[in-house]
Structure 1
């Protein structure tokens, strides 16, 4: 189900670039003149529409051509990739093969000397095959960008890859964004590897209810038990004690908590049990420390009290990296980040 064919002058014809009424006329003209051919093998072409209205070309007698059929999702994502590349000043074509036949890109985008191949991998593919094909692109000076449907696949600075969810009817997403935005970022040099400044992380704040340990008080207090920071498939957890020595992250996280008259003050207190001072919860009535021992015991019964997004700054990125709990991921950053963690790897 290719999206591109050639006319009798050798010029490209893209199915998605032909208006619906012109598509019908082109089909009739092709039946009469048989002037359209497949770029993969030269076979005659038939013009078709899928059940969802996607226009595509089909072989008339496949013969020895090994080009496989593609799903509507595969076709739609190729069209989206072409549109995104062209919108950012790139020249983009579908189904482009190397002169020596070593590779064939779903979409090949070029701008100056830069070349990016977008591969839509809607069927399962093992890691060895992905790495082999990426190596072929690299040997040809082409940067490969992979759009996977499967959940597990290799990711590295040399292999840009994201998981795509959704359908033609419902739309597609990747990295919790519309796929259009992810591809736009890729062709605008805003798809970065690592934990780059300007990217967005999701935060989940958790809390529980504790009874004050002082028998003269015994007030019930809502406490904060910790925070999860989620970026891609990674999740990094922070307790209040962890935030004691991280002023930038502490300020960002605590300022996002909703006001709660049943929550005690969050401040640095001295704990006689640990013989140290750290950021802690306090009793809402008497302000006595509700320390790590009590909060850790309550974590099993804690629940999410707030979810929000934060912008990654160089300082916050350094804090996350220092914990060693994050695997680097590909991330979309803001259009004009003020600074970056050195050195995130851009797609192109």
Structure 2
């Protein structure tokens, strides 16, 4: 069920037609020369039960072109439509070859200037090793690639692994309630809109090593177990990248951010305003050892980390708490690799052909 055919000797793509334009093509098909690109036989414009506009053989005959599921075809159609809307030149079932002579076929192939992107729908199960192998094949051909993977309810650690890789951009899709469109998980947008954003540069990987973002201490209030007075406790360090996207946070006692956190809460005025006690090593009778801890602002007594983490989890159920102050922060290679993910940035240039993929 291809998305392209030859119309009066010229390439014709179903995703470039509006619904009314598609109906007009159906009405005049007998007066036009419509031929399948795969075999040159007569073609008929059709619409699937899911609303996909595609071309079918008038008579199948001996053509050996492969069949695909309705869901795979719909996803491919929506991806091609999104790429076309973004201003890219689009082809489907595009054939290429690596320098080593290995042939590949891209579901959707988009070009703009010197940029080349293969957009793949993977509706059937495929191992992460095979996905990486096929991605490397595109890379060897000077083509960037992005993968749209079917959402499965079953937990699959390998599946989650590839979703956190910059080298193999992969995104989860699932049919919406109407059954006629796809949603891109985590981005809460339709597939066509997402592809438009992806190719326009609005979907970016971050943070990158050496990127200048900002960080700030998250401070909660609690009553000191010893003096019973209200004190501020530093619960975590919140991080944002250079686009202002929240990149999670770290426990206050994580050794990788400890020195940064101590520096950020060293200002006397900040301590006084939020009643923040000293962050230092203290001996815990409960744990019978010393550890990096919060102290009460008033009496200096150790505030147990178990209770602080429990209080933070209660807050995180409803929202990401804002830090009491922001400070310039540079993402190390280690932290950038740990926190890296694909996100939509607020600003993007729709004429940009330098998508981050």
Same fold by TM-score greater than 0.5: yes
Distance in 1, Cα, partners of 2:214 & 2:17? 38
Secondary structure (helix, strand or coil) at the match of 2:43 reads strand
Distance in 1, Cα, partners of 2:262 & 2:106? 44
* CA drift at 1:8: 3.2
Q: In structure 2, what is the equivalent of residue 128 of structure 1?
A: 129
Going from structure 1 to structure 2, the CA distance change for 1:249 and 1:323 (only over 3 Å counts) comes to: farther
Secondary structure (helix, strand or coil) at the match of 1:303 reads helix
* CA drift at 1:267: 4.5
Distance in 1, Cα, partners of 2:23 & 2:104? 33
Name the count of aligned residue pairs: 315
Alignment match of 2:48 (pick from 37, 47, 50):
50
* CA drift at 1:104: 1.7
* CA drift at 1:322: 4.3
Q: In structure 2, what is the equivalent of residue 104 of structure 1?
A: 105
Q: In structure 1, what is the equivalent of residue 147 of structure 2?
A: 146
Going from structure 1 to structure 2, the CA distance change for 1:122 and 1:107 (only over 3 Å counts) comes to: same
> What TM-score does the superposition give when structure 1 sets the normalisation length?
0.68
* CA drift at 1:298: 5.3
Gaps of 5+ in 1: 252-262, 338-344
Per mean C-alpha deviation after superposition, the further-off stretch among 322-331 and 122-131 is 322-331
Per mean C-alpha deviation after superposition, the further-off stretch among 113-122 and 56-65 is 56-65
Q: In structure 2, what is the equivalent of residue 245 of structure 1?
A: 259
Alignment match of 1:39 (pick from 32, 37, 40):
37
Secondary structure (helix, strand or coil) at the match of 2:171 reads strand
Secondary structure (helix, strand or coil) at the match of 1:103 reads strand
* CA drift at 1:188: 3.0
* CA drift at 1:65: 1.9
Distance in 1, Cα, partners of 2:84 & 2:214? 26
Q: Deviations over 1:121-176 (max 9, x none)?
A: 12211223323322332333222111222544636444222223453556512453
Q: In structure 2, what is the equivalent of residue 304 of structure 1?
A: 314
Gaps of 5+ in 2: 152-158, 266-272
Residues 82-97 of structure 1 correspond to what in structure 2 (within 5 A)?
A: 82-97=80-95
Residues 147, 163 of structure 1: 8 Å contact kept: yes
Residues 75-224 of structure 1 correspond to what in structure 2 (within 5 A)?
A: 75-98=73-96, 102-150=103-151, 151-152=159-160, 154=162, 156-167=165-176, 168-169=179-180, 171-178=182-189, 179-180=191-192, 182-196=194-208, 197=211, 212-214=224-226, 217-219=227-229
Distance in 1, Cα, partners of 2:275 & 2:231? 10
> What TM-score does the superposition give when structure 2 sets the normalisation length?
0.67
Distance in 1, Cα, partners of 2:263 & 2:43? 59
Going from structure 1 to structure 2, the CA distance change for 1:83 and 1:271 (only over 3 Å counts) comes to: same
Going from structure 1 to structure 2, the CA distance change for 1:181 and 1:20 (only over 3 Å counts) comes to: closer
Residues 241, 280 of structure 1: 8 Å contact kept: no
* CA drift at 1:118: 0.8
Distance in 2, Cα, partners of 1:64 & 1:51? 23
Alignment match of 1:268 (pick from 278, 284, 298):
278
Q: Deviations over 1:266-299 (max 9, x none)?
A: 353566538999783636xxx334535x133553
Going from structure 1 to structure 2, the CA distance change for 1:230 and 1:95 (only over 3 Å counts) comes to: farther
Q: In structure 2, what is the equivalent of residue 255 of structure 1?
A: none
Residues 208, 302 of structure 1: 8 Å contact kept: no
Q: In structure 2, what is the equivalent of residue 341 of structure 1?
A: none
Distance in 2, Cα, partners of 1:16 & 1:300? 52
Distance in 2, Cα, partners of 1:12 & 1:314? 55
